[in-house]
Amino acid sequence: MDLQPLALPLEETRNLTLIAGPCSAESEEQVLETARRLACRGVKVFRAGIWKPRTKPGGFEGIGSEGLSWLQRVKRETGMILATEVATEEHVRQAIGAGVDLLWIGARTTVNPFAVQEIADALRGRDLPVLVKNPVNPDLELWIGAIERLHRVGIRRIGAIHRGFSSADKTVYRNAPHWEIPRELRRRIPNLPILCDPSHIGGKRELIEPLSQKAVSRGYDGLLIETHRSPDQAWSDAAQQITPEEMQTIVERLSTARTENESENLEELRQRIDLIDEQLLELLSRRMRISGEIGAYKRENGLSVVQPARYGEILEKRISLGVSLDLSPRFVKEILSEIHNESVRRQTVSTVGCR
């Protein structure tokens, strides 16, 4: 794909495009104070959401066009480059009209080809950088499709933002990273700059630093970090926002050393194991709750807690299932015996507890 560089100023020591600012523009003071504190720390590109796509109605849906004049003040007073999210043709018109320099398409918009095409049509003939967040679902083709729609109307300064993917499985992340998807995007469009949004992947402050480090180690071209003058008071995404000072500390600590491919794979395999361990524990906890209920039943019906015939039967069935799943009989037997002991303990505890 013939693309041109984003041509945005880079963070001085690490050659990264660093975009920072609040999830949402809330008030003129909040926007200006956050921007000033970021500008003092060398940040050159300021983000703020003016129109906010919320999963459910009733949350803060963005201040709307009123906030554009606050962004203009940021530019006048700090010289920062302005970035905001657009989801419709009208947003594009108003943002460009107000002098916003860089636009991004949010994850809830990238999923919809009609919306992306509407935005692309509104951008025909313009020359400004446009960043495309990954769609909420892990669909690389949808992500590439949105990029192609922009390319077809003549936009050449295009970048991608990796912000993670929703998933039904509960994980430590708000949005599962699936690092293999942006890696494949890089293989398919090698000259496309890719930025990481650790704020929306992690959903929690503590995860911003490790995720940023991972992205930099993998050769990402930049970071987009949600930054607020007083994060706990933020009207949207409070748990994942940090102060400009915290952001500076994180960026200064980033090591630019690249991770080898092997260890990237290792990292992904470890993440999968973490998830499976969480699921195993959740299942064990459900099993133990049922044991407690069985304990109550046995107590009411005067049955003894340990019933050797039942245990022998379970053991036999599970060992043969385990063998068919490539697990050794000794291993299955040991695990089951531990589970059985805990189960008996639970049933006994509930019996004693109810006397």
Interface positions with Mn ion (CB under 5 A): 23, 237
Q: Does 223 bind ligand PEP (CB under 6 A)?
A: no
Measured CA to CA, the distance from residue 345 to residue 138 in angstroms comes to 43
Partner residues linked to 226 by β-bridges: 21
- Per partner kind, with CB cut-offs from 5 to 8 A, the member of ligand PEP, Mn ion, none near residue 156 is none
State which residue, 186 or 200, has the beta carbon closest to Mn ion. Answer: 200
CA atoms within 13 A on the CB side of 59: 12
* Cβ-based neighbour number of residue 331 at 10 Å: 11
> Residue holding tokens 């109550």?
296
Q: Provide the pairing of β-strand 158-162 with 130-133.
A: parallel
Is residue 295 within 8 A of residue 351, CB to CB? The reply is yes
- Per partner kind, with CB cut-offs from 5 to 8 A, the member of Mn ion, ligand PEP, none near residue 229 is none
Find, among 245, 199, 235, the residue nearest to 30 by Cα.
235
State which residue, 179 or 295, has the beta carbon closest to ligand PEP. Answer: 179
- Per partner kind, with CB cut-offs from 5 to 8 A, the member of Mn ion, ligand PEP, none near residue 133 is ligand PEP
Least separation in angstroms between residue 242's CB and ligand PEP is: 14
State which residue, 49 or 231, has the beta carbon closest to ligand PEP. Answer: 49
Q: Does 21 bind ligand PEP (CB under 6 A)?
A: no
Partner residues linked to 159 by β-bridges: 131
Within residues 39-78, the interface with ligand PEP by CB under 6 A covers: 49
Size of the site for ligand PEP (CB under 6 A): 8
Q: What is the dihedral of CA 167, 172, 177, 180, to 10 degrees?
A: -100
Q: Using only C-alpha atoms, what is the Rg of the chain?
A: 26
Find, among 8, 26, 4, the residue nearest to 230 by Cα.
26
Per-residue contact flags (x/-) with ligand PEP for residues 273 to 312, judged by CB under 6 A = ----------------------------------------
Angle between helices 140-152 and 180-188 (to 10 degrees): 40
Q: Which amino acid is at 31?
A: V
Least separation in angstroms between residue 7's CB and Mn ion is: 25
Of the ranges 64-72, 100-108, 176-184, 287-295, which one interacts with ligand PEP (CB under 6 A)?
Answer: 100-108
Binding residue for ligand PEP, selected from 8, 18, 19, 23, defined by CB under 6 A? 23
Three-class SS state of 226: strand
State which residue, 106 or 202, has the beta carbon closest to ligand PEP. Answer: 106
State which residue, 200 or 214, has the beta carbon closest to Mn ion. Answer: 200
Q: Does 106 bind ligand PEP (CB under 6 A)?
A: yes
**Exposure string for 123-155, b = 16+ CB within 10 A, e = fewer:** beeeeebbbbbbbbebebebbbbbbebbbeeeb
Angle between helices 89-97 and 113-123 (to 10 degrees): 30
Measured CA to CA, the distance from residue 136 to residue 53 in angstroms comes to 12
State which residue, 75 or 108, has the beta carbon closest to ligand PEP. Answer: 108
State which residue, 236 or 343, has the beta carbon closest to Mn ion. Answer: 236
Least separation in angstroms between residue 131's CB and ligand PEP is: 10
Within residues 162-221, the interface with ligand PEP by CB under 6 A covers: 163, 200
Of the ranges 64-72, 102-110, 146-154, 202-210, which one interacts with ligand PEP (CB under 6 A)?
Answer: 102-110
Q: Does 107 bind ligand PEP (CB under 6 A)?
A: yes
- Per partner kind, with CB cut-offs from 5 to 8 A, the member of Mn ion, ligand PEP, none near residue 106 is ligand PEP
Measured CA to CA, the distance from residue 132 to residue 110 in angstroms comes to 7
Of the ranges 89-97, 106-114, 122-130, 256-264, which one interacts with ligand PEP (CB under 6 A)?
Answer: 106-114
Q: Does 103 bind ligand PEP (CB under 6 A)?
A: no
Stated as kind and residue range, the H or E segment containing 133 is: strand 130-133
| Binding positions for ligand PEP, rule: CB under 6 A | 23, 49, 106-108, 133, 163, 200
